[in-house]
Chains A and B, each alone.
Chain A
């Protein structure tokens, strides 16, 4: 069974540009989560999508946004990039039955975003 996949592996952008990161969840998983892992700051929750809807977001500005497609894959968009957006962006998926989570998030390898 294929795991969570993310693309691209690395992304280099300049300040002010936009970045688009993509994630494909494990087959059958309907929930996708995005996290930012910046150096020295640990993992910080960004966004949670389930069944195409944004269910929750972390303490990040609105220039961090995303969407989930009908096939449950997801896209994270970061507008007006700032130097401090440089980080590893991790996507995770889990299996939900209605409102109940399996409490087992499976993570992808991440996209390393560098803003210069």
Chain B
């Protein structure tokens, strides 16, 4: 059974506008969720993780995500997109070593 679902395969925003990358999870117990970023021809980098502590998790490069149990969501946000944010983003669940299918973020100048 799927552990996370990334709702958008591609997201396009203009530089300076907010970013929202959506991720829903399915788990009968408290999940351990993460977001990774993969820039073209570069390795995966951990952006942030949730492990049942604070529901609002702050990550690197101004990204944050909120764990919402009532909505089974863990969406990734950033107030203002930068050109360097263009990359592929993966939501996942550490408990099942499961990565979502990825969301490619395009940032327009």
Contacts and interface: CB of A to CB of B under 8 A. Distances in A.
Decide if A and B are genuine partners. yes
B35 interface: no
Contact of A42 (B32, B46, B90, B97): B90
A52 interface: no
Interface size class of B (residues with CB under 8 A): 20 to 34
A43 interface: yes
Name A's interface SS.
strand
Contacts of A108: 43
Interface string B66-109: 00000000000000000000000010101011111110000000
Contacts of B56: none
Size class of the contact patch on chain A: 20 to 34
12 contacts: A33-B97, A35-B99, A42-B100, A43-B44, A43-B99, A45-B97, A45-B99, A90-B43, A103-B32, A104-B46, A105-B46, A105-B94
Interface of B: 32, 34, 36, 42-46, 49, 51, 90, 92, 94, 96-102
